[in-house]
Amino acid sequence: MIVTTSELFRHAYGKYALGAYNINNLEQTVGLFRGNLGKVKSNDDPTNPAVSAPFIIQISRGARSYSDKRFLEAMIRTAEAVFPDAIFAVHLDHGTEETCYDAIDSGFYSSVMIDASHEPFEKNIEITRRVVDRAHAKGVVVEAELGQLGGVEEDVQGSVCLTDPGQAAEFIEKTGCDSLAVAIGTSHGAYKFTGTQGLRMDRLAEIQKAVPKNFPLVMHGSSSVPKEWVDRINAAGGKIKNASGVPEEQYLPAAKLGICKINIDTDGRLVWCATLREVFRDKPEDFDLRTSGKVFMANYAEYIAHKNKMLGSAGMLESVRALLTGRK
């Protein structure tokens, strides 16, 4: 069942966060659905309500152009039929104004992100407002962004990059956006922190206090970059040095401060990279792409199930279903 992110956030607010996972291909899609339903080994495993989670599928502009955006839509629609128990939102990740309109008009996406965070404050408001008007007319919800995530070279602790709480309140009021991505010290990719940097929970608490009650906040750049997977990549010939991510133990404290959506892309790429390197290393005579594909789908499903436990979304699927179908 495809729902909007807002419907999922209402259930999660202040208690847990939804995992928002990027997909680019079939194996990621199948692994993602299986992981969210606790079907780690195969599509035919029974759904496990104790670990099943509602979730958000994210599609970036890069993913849309990797093959053709129509493949992604067809895969997700097929996954919905193969896994009828799943409850999820389909979300455009880091959209431009033009991509947002394309996603809204497609009738497939239930949520879009307009990322005009690089623009001056007033221009960001102007662009976001236009997207919100067009999205809401079609029942699509909008995530916007204020503040800028850091790169590894930047001083992400500097107040210039972090979201300003007062501006956040004004931005929400003037744009009518449904959720807001905030910059609180994270960055995209596998090299998030150097030295003593970390998540700015103090800033997040100030933002939560400044914005309307129960307004959903979003955290990008939230992969944990697990040492286990980085070590496995390196042991199988990779060269990933000094990688670091957001400690998973910080997901729930962030959720208690209003973070409802936690974006994870890099971790999935690490699982992919380790799996393929290991299979090629251990079976040098095998050239069947399905060998590594099968191992990846199981590894990814297991990883997603683990991630959902850390986010607090594991085991929430049936109460979300009850809420959405009016049974509670």
The contact set with Zn ion (CB under 5 A) reads 220
Compute the distance between CA of residue 108 and CA of residue 192 in angstroms, rounded to an integer. Answer: 33
* Residue 117 binds to ligand G3H (criterion: CB under 6 A): no
Min CB(94)–Zn ion separation in Å? 6
Distance CA 67, CA 78 (A): 17
Which of ligand 13P, ligand G3H, Zn ion, none sits in contact with 62, Cβ below 5 to 8 A by type?
ligand G3H
Closest distance to ligand 13P from the beta carbon of 189 (Å): 5
Of the candidates 299, 186, 203, which has an alpha carbon nearest to the alpha carbon of residue 244?
Answer: 186
Supply the minimum distance, in Å, between the C-beta of residue 21 and ligand 13P.
9
Nearer to ligand 13P, 254 or 279 (CB): 254
93 is catalytic: yes
Helix, strand, coil shares, percent, the chain, to 5:
45, 15, 40
Q: Would you give the end-to-end CA distance of the chain in angstroms? A: 18
**CA pair distance 229, 247, nearest whole angstrom:** 14
Minimal distance in Å, beta carbon 325 to ligand 13P?
A: 30
**Count of chain residues binding ligand G3H (CB under 6 A):** 8
Question: Minimum distance from CB of 224 to ligand 13P (Å)?
Answer: 8
Other C-beta atoms closer than 10 Å to the C-beta of 321 total 17
**Gap between the Cα atoms of 322 and 143, Å rounded:** 25
Cβ nearer to ligand 13P, comparing 21 with 171:
21
Binding residues among 58-97 for ligand G3H as defined by CB under 6 A: 60, 62-63, 93-94
Q: Pattern of binders to ligand G3H over 18-37, x per CB under 6 A?
A: ----x---------------
| Number of separate helices (H) and strands (E) present in the chain | 13, 8
Token pair listed for 148? 């800028």
Contact call for residue 110 and ligand G3H (CB under 6 A) = no
Range 193-252, binding ligand G3H (CB under 6 A): none
63 binds, among ligand G3H, ligand 13P, Zn ion, none (CB under 5 to 8 A by kind): ligand G3H
Smallest distance, Å, CB 27 to ligand 13P?
Answer: 18
Query: Which helix or strand (DSSP H or E) is residue 142 part of?
Result: strand 141-146
Position among 27, 143, 178, 265 found at the interface with ligand G3H (CB under 6 A) = 265
- Distance between CA atoms of residues 181 and 171, nearest Å: 12
Minimum distance from residue 223 beta carbon to ligand 13P (Å):
3
Q: Give the β-pairing of 141-146 and 88-95.
A: unpaired
- Site for ligand 13P, rule CB under 6 A: 22, 93-94, 188-189, 220-223, 263-266
Which residues make beta-bridge pairs with 217? 180, 259
Task: Give which of ligand G3H, Zn ion, ligand 13P, none residue 29 binds (C-beta under 5 to 8 Å, depending on kind).
Answer: none
Q: Calculate the CA 293 to chain-centre distance.
A: 22
Rounded to whole angstroms, how far apart are CA atoms 150 and 147?
10
Catalytic residue among 45, 93, 178, 288: 93
* Segment interacting with ligand G3H (CB under 6 A) among 56-64, 128-136, 249-257, 307-315: 56-64
Looking at the DSSP bridge assignments, the partners of residue 111 are 91, 141
**The entry of Zn ion, ligand 13P, ligand G3H, none that residue 264 binds, CB within 5 to 8 Å by partner kind:** ligand 13P
Spatial separation of the C-alpha atoms in residues 38 and 48, rounded to whole Å:
5
Q: For residues 64 and 71, what is the distance between their CA atoms, to the nearest angstrom? A: 9
Verify binding: residue 188, ligand G3H, rule CB under 6 A.
Answer: yes
Which residues of this protein are in contact with ligand G3H, per CB under 6 A?
22, 60, 62-63, 93-94, 188, 265
- The residues that are catalytic are 93
